[in-house]
Amino acid sequence: MSPEEQALALITAARSGDERAVARLLRNVEDETDLGLAAWRRLFKDSGRARVIGITGPPGVGKSTLIGRLARAYRDRGQRVGILAVDPTSPLTGGALLGDRIRMQELTSDPGVYIRSLATRGAVGGVARAAGRLVTVLDALGYEVVLLETVGAGQDEVEVAAIAGTTVLVLMPGQGDEIQALKAGLVEVADIIVVNKADREGADQLAAQLRSVLRLGLRPEDGGWTPPIIKTAAADGTGLPELLSAIDQHQEYLSKSGEKAARRRAALRKAVWRELESLLLRRLSRNPEFVSEFEALVGRVEAGELDPVGAAALLLERLAAPAHPEA
Ligand SMILES: Nc1nc2c(ncn2[C@@H]2O[C@H](COP(=O)(O)OP(=O)(O)OP(=O)(O)O)[C@@H](O)[C@H]2O)c(=O)[nH]1
Ligand SMILES: [Mg+2]
């Protein structure tokens, strides 16, 4: 069977509720196999329907606990839920992830919920790219809500946040996290800010602090939406109705303001650009004539005849006007 045929068979199985088919599909998409690529391309046109909610914040603030609560609430609304956890540190044996799994055990037995962890790739942008593709697949397979957990730290996380329609930044009192979050630029990508562990001391102070930070105009570019600050205790469910309604309101704002369409277009522009880059590089590196031209120019740079920019410009010129056109 060709990769396309295999992909089609897997998609059909996944749509009929075969969880192992879903897992195989996602694994192939993440690993960028030929099958995965074929599946992703086929599914792409059916995507764009799910509400994608990013849950980000420093380690240990309660993101997974909150996601468990949200997932249950969406299940109660009769929606299918996909959960992707981006594990920043350990590919397989991550303690945090293991903990998450145990906490999420009740959910894993529910066929309407699909949970998967996503190992971080080395390259910047690797996580964002893989996460984006997996979200597309879950979306197209009919998961109406996709919850994306990331530990807020680097550029990748900010990019992951861009995949989400609604980004929820989770903080907790007593860690000085708010300062770090500000530094990491996370407050700027947050559509909703949650002060979790509100059962602990300092939640009101943290909320007040954040409120004044927002009032100082950290988001001058964003006129239409002021991120609400919501206190929750994910452990017992306090504040969950408020969080759910804030997410609903933000989703409505996204649609009504045209922001949703604008974000989708920006994401698509980026996606096409990325694919163009990778396609171009792959084609060129497989073209023997180009490769020998390339090596020759590297030799001239080595000999001091050219600098790298000059060499690249020459390569580009020759691409536009091949030296040996096939007649
Ligand atoms: N007191 C209190 N503890 C909580 C609350 N929510 C979560 N916790 C606890 O905080 C710890 C961390 O919770 P997680 O949900 O794993 O936090 P996380 O942000 O997903 O952590 P990482 O994935 O490791 O970054 C666990 O022991 C939870 O039981 C809360 O509202 N109050
Ligand atoms: Mg977690």
Q: Are strands 166-171 and 145-151 parallel, antiparallel or unpaired?
A: unpaired
What rounded mean pLDDT belongs to the chain?
84
Q: Which among 65, 67, 104 is the best mutation to test ligand 1's pocket, defined by most ligand atoms within 8 Å of the CB? A: 65
- Lowest mean pLDDT: which of 9-18, 58-67, 90-99? 90-99
pLDDT band of residue 116 (cuts 50, 70, 90) is confident
Residue written as tokens 């559509």?
Answer: 191
Any atom of ligand 1 within 6 Å of the Cβ of 32: no
Side chain identity, residue 106: E
Query: Which of 73, 62, 65, 1 lies closest to 34 in space, CA to CA?
Result: 1
d(CA 44, CA 139) in angstroms, rounded, equals 9
d(CA 107, CA 242) in angstroms, rounded, equals 22
Work out the average pLDDT over 67-84: 94
Burial call 124-161: b when 16+ CB within 10 Å, e when fewer: eeebbbbbbbbbbbbbbbebbbbbbbbbbeeebbbbbb
CA 235–ligand 1 middle distance (angstroms): 7
Give 2's DSSP letter. Answer: -
226-279: per-residue pLDDT in tens? 899 999 999 999 999 999 999 999 999 999 999 888 888 888 888 888 889 888
Q: Which among 64, 169, 194 is the best mutation to test ligand 1's pocket, defined by most ligand atoms within 8 Å of the CB? A: 64
Ligand nearest to the CA of 115: 2
Atom 26 of ligand 1, residue of closest alpha carbon: 62
CA 175–ligand 2 middle distance (angstroms): 17
Structure tokens of 251?
A: 């989703």
CB 231 within 8 A of CB 207: yes
Any atom of ligand 1 within 6 Å of the Cβ of 65: yes
Atom 29 of ligand 1, residue of closest alpha carbon: 235
CB 11 within 8 A of CB 42: yes
155-211: per-residue pLDDT in tens? 555 666 667 789 999 999 987 656 666 655 666 778 999 999 999 999 999 898 888
d(CA 254, CA 28) in angstroms, rounded, equals 32
Any atom of ligand 1 within 6 Å of the Cβ of 182: no
Backbone region of residue 60 per phi and psi (left: phi > 0; alpha: psi in -120 to 50; beta: other values):
left
CB 157 within 8 A of CB 169: no
C-alpha neighbours within 13 Å on the C-beta side of residue 77: 15
Atom 17 of ligand 1, residue of closest alpha carbon: 62
Any atom of ligand 1 within 6 Å of the Cβ of 28: no
CA 219–ligand 2 middle distance (angstroms): 27
Which H helix or E strand runs over 302? helix 288-302
Atom 32 of ligand 1, residue of closest alpha carbon: 197
C-alpha neighbours within 13 Å on the C-beta side of residue 87: 18
Atom 7 of ligand 1, residue of closest alpha carbon: 62
Ligand nearest to the CA of 63: 1
Long-range contacts of 68-73 (CB under 8 A, 24+ apart): 68/103, 68/104, 68/106, 68/107, 68/234, 69/234, 69/237, 69/240, 70/147, 70/240, 70/243, 70/244, 70/247, 71/107, 71/113, 71/145, 71/147, 72/107, 73/240, 73/244
Kindly give the residue spans of alpha helices, DSSP state H, lying in 54-154. Answer: 63-76, 95-103, 105-108, 126-140
Give me the pLDDT at residue 90, please.
42
Report whether pLDDT(313) > 70. yes
Atom 9 of ligand 1, residue of closest alpha carbon: 62
CB 155 within 8 A of CB 178: no
Structure tokens of 112?
A: 């309407």
Give me the pLDDT at residue 10, please.
95
Q: Are strands 166-171 and 51-57 parallel, antiparallel or unpaired?
A: parallel
CA 237–ligand 1 middle distance (angstroms): 12
pLDDT band of residue 304 (cuts 50, 70, 90) is very high
Give me the pLDDT at residue 96, please.
43
Quickly count helices (H) and strands (E) in the chain. 15, 7
Give 176's DSSP letter. Answer: -
Query: Which of 44, 106, 22 lies closest to 264 in space, CA to CA?
Result: 44
Query: Of ligand 1's atoms, which has the minimum distance to the CA of residue 68?
Result: 15
Residue 303 or residue 208, greater confidence: 303
d(CA 115, CA 263) in angstroms, rounded, equals 26
